[in-house]
Amino acid sequence: MKDSGLPAVACLAVVSGVIGANYGIQIKRGYEQPAHIYSGIIGKSSYGKSPVLKYLLEPLLEKENEWMSEWKSAHAIYEQALMSWSATPKKERAAKPVAPVTKQLIVTDITIEALRHRMKENPGGLLLYADELDGLFGNMGRYNNGRDLPHYITIHNGMPLTIDRLSGSEVARGKPIRIPRPSVAICGGIQPSILRQRLAENPDYFHSGFIVRFLIAMPPDRAPRLNRDEISDEVQESYRRLVMDILSAKKRTQIGDQVFPMLFSITEPAWDTLVEYQHRHAELADYETDRNAPIEGKFLTNAARIALILHVADSSAVLFEGYTPMSELPPVSDATMRNACIIAEWFVNEAKRIYAILHSSLATDGSAGDELTDKQRAVMRVLQRKDKPMTSNEIRFASNATKEMSIDDIEQILRELIKLGRVVAQECQQEKGKGRPATEYKMSENL
């Protein structure tokens, strides 16, 4: 795979789910951030999303298989104890045996109600893996008139969550289930056309701030080619060891069904770096469009969480070998914070690029922007799909629809689209075999 965006965003999400509620980063007194992030990989079907996610999930599935074996043994003992308890006269019975809980890391197709119960059973955190995020978006609100949306926002924020409208024994007895530190990371893929459709159908996804909480990436629109490239044994073992180390350290932060996270402070230089980056993005947000301002506004949250993920990975030798008092935890360094800010800024720019493409494509598929002609839409589809500056000649031979046009027709259409503010022109390198500058065209970033 030549593009690193796809595996990078998936790896961040998966590791954030493994870290879960067990570690946090303290920006200042009273202001902390958890590790879990929501992520989405945008690409056409069969474009290589699933194999990457499958590889990253292997250590988690290995751990779940281990837990399942332990549960089967514990459940067999429980059943014997329950039979013995049932056979004992009521007046002589001790407390009823408690069934063992199945520990989990990964959940897939799940309702918000069931997710809450899984969080109660697994307070250290979960990873919601959706091979197709459309299932999550499509089911959201289907059974409860759209009330799932604020719950996912609450979970992302790490705020306490309470179950108060479920049927079941605990709720029926007036004991709603409360999750003090909900932690669910989301990782999955979705096709561009489906995401565009969901955003068109549910504008609240954007206006509520739900979708801008996702770290998204859309690798180049190019189907994968079979090759002999392989992930080395060293890299595989290093990744597996990191996942297992984080999981083994969870017992230090959990007592029963409660989690007491270990918080990392940040150094003064790291604070200065974060303030500098955040202030710049806050100023950009003040002058951005309504679509892009919320993306800029999430810079601080994303940078802090990415810094935490990087720091846990870098500090594994200290964290996972013996007991380290909270006061002796290594703080997040300036170098780590700078790297986190660079990554967070990449996600800001990537989100702007993707939402501009999705927004402009509403006018290219006939669902909006009916003032455009079929030929104008055909030219815009080419520029949108290629996502790079192109000459008029390149545009002509990029699709069957534009091949039917003459070069004069395409240049006339491009001039019309420039006037409409949908396309911009720029001078580029000399065309091959010619001694004159060429003009390239691309989609306007202001759409």
* pLDDT at 362 exceeding the cut of 80: no
**158 dihedral zone (left: phi>0; alpha: psi -120 to 50; beta):** left
What distances in angstroms separate CA 250 from CA 16, 244, 254, 255, 424, one per listed residue? 13, 10, 6, 10, 53
Counting residues of the chain whose pLDDT is more than 70, the rounded percentage is: 82
Distance CA 198, CA 207 (A): 13
pLDDT at 283: 86
Residue 340 is predicted with a pLDDT of 96
User: Is the CB of residue 178 less than 8 Å from the CB of residue 162?
Assistant: yes
User: 107 pLDDT exceeds 60?
Assistant: yes
Of 243, 195, 154, nearest in space to 357 by CA: 195
Task: State how far the alpha carbon of 292 is from the alpha carbons of 209, 285, 289, 349, 352, in Å.
Answer: 11, 7, 5, 10, 6
Tell me which residue of 133, 123, 140 sits closest to 186, measured CA to CA.
133
pLDDT at 221 over 70: no
Q: Convert the pLDDT of each residue in 371-417 to its tens digit.
A: 678 888 888 888 877 778 889 999 999 888 888 899 999 999 998 88
Would you state the pLDDT for residue 228?
Answer: 75
Per-residue confidence band for 224, with pLDDT thresholds at 50, 70 and 90: low
Residue among 291, 308, 288 at smallest CA distance from 300: 308
Q: What pLDDT digit, counting tens, does each position of 76-89 carry? A: 999 999 999 999 99
What stretch of H or E contains 177?
strand 177-179
Domains of the chain, residue spans: 5-359, 372-443
User: What residues form DSSP beta bridges with 253?
Assistant: none
The C-alpha atoms of residue 2 and residue 42 are separated, in whole angstroms, by 16
Least confident of 44-53, 195-204, 286-295: 44-53
Q: How much is the mean pLDDT over the chain?
A: 81
Sequence letter at residue 92 = E
Q: How confident is the model at residue 162 (pLDDT cuts 50, 70, 90)?
A: confident
Residues 6+ apart with CB under 8 A from 57: 14, 106, 129
What integer pLDDT is reported at residue 90 of this predicted model? 87
AA identity, residue 253: T
pLDDT band for 319, please (50, 70, 90 cuts).
low
State the burial class of residue 351 (Cβ atoms within 10 Å of its Cβ: 0-12, 13-18, 19+): buried
CA distances from 157 to 31, 151, 325, 370, 393 (A): 12, 10, 27, 39, 49
Report which DSSP code applies to 332.
B
The two beta strands, 184-190 and 126-130, are parallel
Q: What is the pLDDT of residues 253-305, one digit of tens each?
A: 777 777 888 889 999 999 999 999 999 988 888 777 666 788 888 888 999 99
CATH of domain 5-359: 3.40.50
pTM value is 0.75
In the CATH hierarchy, which fold is given to the domain comprising 372-443?
Answer: Arc Repressor Mutant, subunit A (1.10.10)
pLDDT of 348 strictly over 70 = yes
Mean pLDDT of 123-140: 83
71-80, 138-147, 221-230, 410-419: which has the minimum mean pLDDT?
138-147
Which of 405, 355, 341 lies closest to 376 in space, CA to CA? 405
Q: What is the pLDDT of residue 127?
A: 95
pLDDT at 16: 95
Better-scored residue on pLDDT, 360 or 150: 150
pLDDT given at position 233: 84
pLDDT, position 337 = 96
Residue 175: pLDDT above 60?
Answer: yes
Q: Is the four-CA dihedral 265, 269, 270, 273 of positive or negative sign?
A: positive
Under the banding of pLDDT at 50, 70 and 90, the label for residue 223 is low
332 vs 167, higher pLDDT: 332
Q: How many CB atoms lie within 10 A of CB 43?
A: 22
Q: Which helix (H) or strand (E) holds 26?
A: strand 23-28
Can you list the positions of beta strands (E) in 43-160? 106-107, 126-130
**Cα separation of 348 and 350, whole Å?**
5
Half-sphere exposure of 160 (CA within 13 A, CB side): 8
Per-residue pLDDT at 367: 46
